[in-house]
Homo-oligomer: A and B are copies of this chain.
Amino acid sequence: MRKTYFTPGPAELYPSVEKHYQDAFNLQLGSISHRSAQFRKIYQHTAEQLRTLLNIPESHGIFFTGSATEIWERVIQNTVEHESFHLVNGSFSKKFYDFSNELHKFAHKMEKPFGEGFDYAEITVPEYSELICTTANETASGVQMRPAEIHKLKRSNKDKFVVVDMVSSAPYPDFDFNTIDSALFSVQKSFGMPAGLGVWIANPKMLEKSLRMKTHEATIGTYHSLPTLWKNFEKYETPETPNVLAIYVLGKVAEDMNKTGIETIRKETEKKAKLLYDFAEKSSLVDIFVKNPDHRSQTVVVLNTHKPASEIIETVKNASDLVIGSGYGDFKASQIRIANFPAVNIEQVEALIAEMKKI
């Protein structure tokens, strides 16, 4: 029996994904050269569809990597000469911070307890930090940081770069790419694709910084340094042989999403999130983990469970082949996580709620 995955990544595949992979095989895209006009057209199409979907200015580069995890490393390596600053409130923002230390940078952090979020007003940015690392959606805790707050953070720190980790939220949050400098995500979350591709968006000022660092004898990496990625991007190529099939399918999925319209996707996301949070508020089975409604994620709903989480997960799976995620790390036994990505529709969310109501 086919399952429906409400897990927060890898997640349910977007309905058209399998067909796009089938098309890719029929077009023999697994055999084409990544230095061919055919590949360059694919890269260009994907970049153009992402520009439309996320409203990315023409000036910005769009690059492909093996994972979003890789981009944490590359963005620090290429834009931080000495100091970075991290808003840490969960396992993934913590890892971003750890990477900076591992790369021998001086990493500052402002830390919040698991389940709490950040607002602009309370943040003090250390004077010499070159890069401010923010997380639009903490996949582990279900906490969001709203675009307006991140925009304010950048506006009052114009001399520093602001990068947004959009893993598990893109394309939902409406960021102004003329304000933030960079963003990153992977395809196995909200884009509903098999894992194996990261997407990095950066503005020309980041490229300038990276080039400057290189002349200052800093190590900015090799094939995936920002200058090398950008030089290849200008002709819609990649430094290495990339995941051609995933780049093709991402372009097709973004095209599908553009046909639906980003505003519709955002409204539906909010509608489905409201259904889930409303259910949790009235339920005696679960309650909402994130107390501040402004910080509640619209794409990953985290709930405390009044029974062992595994019992709820098993019951729902056995009854109707709906798969929900367990809590992250220490919260494995006491929380569930429900991904609310575009791949699942309102009927599927309603079916999940109906199933949980039976428990």
* A residues apposed to B, CB below 8 Å: 2-3, 5, 7, 9-13, 17-18, 21, 24-25, 28-34, 65-70, 72-73, 98-99, 102-104, 186, 188, 193-197, 217, 219, 221-225, 239-246, 323, 325
Contact = CB atoms under 8 A, between A and B. Distances in A.
A246 B196 contact: yes
A306 B171 CA distance: 53
Nearest to A240: B69
Given A13-B30, A196-B243, A243-B243, A223 B70 contact: yes
Contacts of A243: 66, 194-196, 243
Contacts of A32: 10
Contact of A241 (B3, B186, B244): B186
B196 A244 contact: yes
A103 B77 CA distance: 12
Interface centre among A12, A217, A223 (most CB of B within 10 A): A223
30 contacts: A3-B28, A5-B28, A10-B30, A10-B33, A10-B241, A10-B244, A11-B31, A30-B188, A30-B193, A30-B194, A31-B323, A34-B195, A66-B67, A66-B70, A67-B242, A69-B240, A69-B241, A70-B223, A72-B222, A98-B222, A99-B222, A102-B219, A102-B222, A103-B219, A194-B244, A195-B243, A196-B197, A196-B243, A196-B245, A219-B219
Given A7-B33, A21-B21, A194 B69 contact: no
B70 A240 contact: yes
Contacts of A30: 10, 13, 17, 188, 193-195
A10 B223 CA distance: 18
A37 to B, nearest CB: 13
Contacts of A34: 10, 195
Interface centre among A10, A194, A239, A325 (most CB of B within 10 A): A194
A25 B18 contact: yes
A237 to B, nearest CB: 13
B196 A239 contact: no
A13 B197 CA distance: 21
B10 A69 contact: no
A67 B198 CA distance: 13
A281 B29 CA distance: 33
A99 B223 contact: yes
A333 to B, nearest CB: 15
A223 B242 CA distance: 19
Nearest to A105: B219
B2 A28 contact: yes
A239 B2 contact: no
Given A66-B196, A72-B223, A102-B225, 7 more contacts: A10-B31, A24-B194, A69-B241, A73-B221, A99-B223, A186-B241, A194-B243
Contacts of A11: 31
Interface centre among A104, A193, A246 (most CB of B within 10 A): A246
Contacts of A98: 222
A51 B105 CA distance: 39
Contacts of A25: 18, 21
A2 B9 CA distance: 35
Nearest to A188: B241
A70 B241 CA distance: 10
